[in-house]
Every structure is written in C-alpha cells, then in structure tokens.
Homo-oligomer: A and B are copies of this chain.
Amino acid sequence: MTQTQKQNKKQKTAITPTREENFPEWYQQVIKAADMAENSPVRGCMIIKPYGYAIWENMQRIFDGMIKECGVDNAYFPLLIPISFMSREAEHVDGFAKECAVVTHHRLVVDEENGGLKPASPLEEPYIVRPTSETIIGDSMARWTTSYRDLPLKLNQWANVMRWEMRTRLFLRTSEFLWQEGHNAFETGEEAREDALKMLNVYKDFAENTLAMPVLIGEKTADERFPGAIATFAMEGMMQDGKALQAGTSHDLSTNFAKSFDIKFQGRDGKEHYAHTTSWGISTRLIGGVIMTHADDDGLIVPPRIAPHQVVIIPVVRDDSRAEDINAYADKVVAELKAQGIRVKVDDREMRVPDKMWDSIKKGVPLRVEIGEREMDAGTLTHVRRDIGRDSKETCAVDEFVEKVSSILDSIHDGLFKRARDFRDSHIYDMSSLDEMRDFFKKGNIGFVRVDTKLLEQPAFEALKKEYSLTPRCMPFEDNGDKVYVGKSY
C-alpha cells in the first residue's frame, strides 16, 4: 500500500486513531465523537453530557426495576462520613482512607492577604466525602435492627461517591462517579452468602440481557477482596483489547461491619446476634465497559435496550418544495413507532444529510431510518443497522417496519452479545505454567489465561504480575476455586 492508499483507507473510519492503532486514544475519541462526557476543571472529575447521561438513566431505570423485584428499597444516606467511622473496620480504613476528599472547614472568607477566598471555621471532627457507605449505613442498620423480624433488611442508594484517583479516565476511573450501592443484612451467614451470590447473578443478567455485555462471574482471590469482606464476587467483562473490566462486585461482609457498627438483633432463640451483611455495586464505569465492548472504528454502538434513541429518522430532502411533506411523513412514522414503545427521534437539525448520518453512526444509534421522496411516494422507508452497516440496508413498507422494529432491535442486541462473547471465548487460554503465561504476554497476545489457582502462589508469579500488569480476575464457580482467570485490566 502506498502512503496515500493507507491514508484513504484510514479516512474511511469516523474515529482516529482506530482500535488497532491506539486503543486508549480510540476510547477517548469515541466518547468525544458521541458527545458523551468530558473532563472538568475539577481534578479527576468528569462531566457527563446529556447523551452519556441518557444512557445512564436508561441503565438506572432498568436495573432499579430489577432490584425492586428482589425486595430492595431505595433510601438516601449522608454524603459525608465522620472520619472516626472509617477507623472502626480495620481493613476498610486501609482500603479507603488513602484516597478520599476530606472536608475540614464549613465556611469561606475573603483572603485579605492573597485575594480570593480561603477556608474558615474548622470542624471539630473532619468528614470525608463517601468513597462507599458501609460505615454510615451500618450505623443506621444498628439502630433499625432490634429483632429478627427486622431482617432481612435490603437497602440501596443511587449516589455519587469520591475516591481520589491519581490517573483518571472518563467513565472508567474518575475521582467522582455515580453508582448504586446495595446494603443488605440477614440473620444468618448462609442467607448473606446466598444473597451476595444472588445479586451477582442479577448483575450478570443485567450486563448480558440489558447491556449485551458477556461477563464471567466468580470469586475474587483473597488479595483482591473488598476491604472488610470475607468473600468478594465479581463479574468481569473482556474488552476488545483483551483487558478485563471489573463490571460489578458483590461482597459477603460476614459480621465484620456488624461488629464494628454494632448491628445486633434478638434472634429466634431469644439471644442477641450480630447481623450478617452484604454490599454490592455497579457504577458509571459500566458505560466505559459498554463502549469498549461494542464500539468500533466508526464510533459508539449503543445496545438497543439502553439507547437514548433506538431509531433516528433522517429526512432526505432534495427538492425543497417537498420538504414539508417529507417532514409530515416522518412525523407520522415517529408517532407509529412511539405507539410501539420505541424511543425515536427525527433529526431535523439544519445540517447536511451525510453529516446527520455520520452523527447517528458516531452516536451508535442502533437503527437509522432514511426517508426521501422515493420512500414517501411508495409508503416505505429505508433502514440501516448500526452494528452491521450498509450491508443491512433495506427498504420496506412503513407498516412492515413498525411491525418488525422490536425484533430488529432484539436481533441487534443478540448480535452484539454474540460478537462480544465469541471474541471473549476465543481469547481465553488454558495454561499450566508461569513460563507459558510469560511467553503468551511477552508476545503481545491479548486475552485472559485460565490457570490453576495454586500457580499464583509460586513466588515467581509476583514478578510476572508486575512485568505485564496482570491481576487475577476471578475464580469461576464451576471449578470450586481451583482455577482462576488472569489478565490485564482496567
């Protein structure tokens, strides 16, 4: 290929660089091209723009319905946590005290010396902005739980949290992020364990059936546990660069937090017992996972069930005298699709038609519909699937489209899921020695290796881990902890 040919080939994709050229930079450019989020003037904090936020709203709405079906109630607890709370659970403080925003004053006054404002009125006890809420919710649970009749207690909050991250990346790692954190309490350890596993499966269901993101589930190795948990269960996605994304975790906290926060109840035996608690969370990080699972070199592809617009209609007006008719025709199609519960909009901006098409591609709208004079005169429309592209272009009667649009969207969902699962499954390698692993990663191969968990206990693993930034991802349940997936990760 000559330089010009290469250039031409390159220009065929809407995103520069491509995934192959520079995956991390491609990721940033996909977000930019889809107008989803951007960095803010606040260190490490992002601004979620309307298009990105609309995706999060759809995720929230669907997941919220799922947890309500599980008998979980939403509530809201304070943003600030007294620092003394953080000291109570020994492992927890090690895990979270290192990277938090500390509120020390409650007033600003004019700085006469240097101009501007400066903090005043120091607090007696500083607070931290919640990095997670086990402590403050544990404190409430202690007050709310007096008898076994008060259990199980299943609480969730949708909230912002802060962890002072040094290296940040939009959606994947930001100092502030949005999430849900579930906090359940039970009479027995068995119930708590069962619940932690149940919520993990709710996550898997959500990831696969809503986000079209295949996940592996299993238990984390001891090193990777949540600080204060006796077991952490996780779902792990494989991104298109072969790296893992921890997409959701569910923790069995045993009586650790109950003991630190005095969550006791009078049991059926009349005696006092500590409650067994769990916690479980997913966050805006999942949006990063959706991007890295599905997007391509032309930009975002939004799984249909969370797409802000499942269908975008682009009127193709060549003869201005017919513009009004075409718009009216498009509006009629919109009305019929809305009646089917489809999220649809007409792109009626003052903009060139090809620009609108590229915009819908870069934004990853699952189905693009084009309506021109020819379509209007024939009572038809032309539709194109984002996941397949021009090969899926088809013209059909409006009625027919209205009838089949839901199944096309389902088929897009299924196609995205299958493509991602096939990719993942073809990038998992069984290995039996550290040498084999080293060789694999040294050659620049991507994906997960599945090895005996015992292998990680070999002293040489530490060096290997460091050299290639590897981490054990999770131990699949079917192997009872004997096997573990290892890979690079976000």
Contact = CB atoms under 8 A, between A and B. Distances in A.
Nearest to A81: B42
Given A86-B108, A87-B116, A54 B42 contact: no
A77 B42 CA distance: 10
A117 B83 contact: yes
Interface string A73-84: 111111111111
A322 to B, nearest CB: 25
A179 interface: no
Interface string A46-88: 1111100110110000000000000001111111111111110
A471 B84 CA distance: 41
Given A54-B74, A78-B45, A82-B41, A108 B116 contact: no
Chain copies in complex: 2
Nearest to A117: B83
Interface stretch (A93-101, A401-409, A424-432): A93-101
A350 B268 CA distance: 15
A74 B103 contact: no
A124 to B, nearest CB: 9
A419 to B, nearest CB: 30
A189 interface: no
Contacts of A41: 82, 85, 136, 139
Contact of A42 (B42, B73, B100, B136): B136
Interface string A11-54: 00000000000000000000000000000111001111110011
B126 A119 contact: yes
A129 B126 contact: no
Contacts of A361: none
B48 A75 contact: yes
A168 to B, nearest CB: 12
B107 A99 contact: yes
Given A98-B107, A106-B101, A128-B108, A78 B117 contact: no
Given A57-B74, A106-B101, A86 B136 contact: no
Contact of A79 (B45, B50, B98, B100): B45
Contacts of A76: 47-48, 53, 56, 178
A149 interface: yes
Interface residues of A, number: 62
Given A83-B117, A84-B116, A164-B107, A74 B50 contact: yes
Nearest to A104: B104
B105 A104 contact: yes
A140 interface: yes
Contacts of A176: 78-80
Contacts of A118: 83, 126
16 contacts: A40-B77, A42-B82, A42-B127, A50-B74, A53-B73, A53-B76, A78-B176, A79-B160, A86-B108, A87-B116, A100-B108, A101-B105, A102-B108, A103-B104, A108-B128, A159-B160
Interface of A: 40-42, 45-50, 53-54, 56-57, 73-87, 93, 97-109, 116-119, 126-129, 136, 139-140, 149, 155, 159-160, 162, 164, 176, 178, 350
Given A87-B116, A104-B104, 7 more contacts: A50-B155, A54-B74, A93-B108, A103-B104, A107-B164, A129-B129, A160-B160
10 shortest interchain CB distances as A-B pairs: A50-B73, A45-B78, A97-B108, A102-B105, A48-B76, A42-B78, A106-B164, A102-B119, A101-B103, A104-B104
